[in-house]
Amino acid sequence: MTWMEWYNGLVKPSWTPEPRTIGLIWQILYPVIIVSFGFVFVQAIRGKVPWIVALPFAINLVANLIFTPIQFGMRNLPLASVDILVIWGTIVWMVVVIWQRYGWVAVAQVPYFVWVSIATVLQLSITFNNR
């Protein structure tokens, strides 16, 4: 069974966005993530912010990158739920640690936070409905 057949067979809330919509949202968010995260990493390399400030950005990036392999490769809904909670939590952490230094980076995370909040509720719903 392909990942799409598997995903389509899951019990999902009625408000679940179409895969095409989810893809479009990420196409909009990824450039914002690349620019803002890249800026923070460059500032950490230059010594303008401590590495501890870049840490939640790094954790978020790794957690974001491994979500798809966990969800659609391993087809592990509980682990994907834990992963998305890490993503959500690190966005909050990122905003808190960067706000005083570079407020624009914190503000740039707002659309990411909104989408991941929706995606987290969706993921937890799917996990709960398919246990």
Q: How many domains does the chain have?
A: 1
Q: Does the residue 60 lie in any domain?
A: yes
Position 6 in a domain: no
Phi-psi region of 71 (alpha: psi -120 to 50; beta: other; left: phi over 0): alpha
Structure tokens at 82: 């834990």
**60: domain range?**
19-129
Q: DSSP letter for 129, please.
A: H
Establish if 118 belongs to a structural domain. Answer: yes
Q: How far apart are the C-alpha atoms of 22 and 124, rounded to whole Å?
A: 16
Q: What is the pLDDT of residue 57?
A: 98
Q: Using CA atoms, how far apart are residues 23 and 41, in angstroms rounded to an integer? A: 26
Give the per-residue pLDDT at 10: 97
Residue 1 lies in a domain: no
Residues in the chain where the model's pLDDT stays below 50: none
14 is a domain residue? no
Predicted pLDDT of residue 98: 98
Report the pLDDT value the prediction gives residue 102, as an integer from 0 to 100: 98
| 47 backbone φψ class: left, alpha, beta (φ>0; ψ -120 to 50) | left
Please give the pLDDT value at position 100: 96
Q: How far apart are CA 118 and CA 120, in angstroms?
A: 5
Residue 12 placed within a domain = no
What's residue 12's pLDDT? 97
pLDDT of residue 106: 98
> Hey, what are 43's tokens?
């500032």
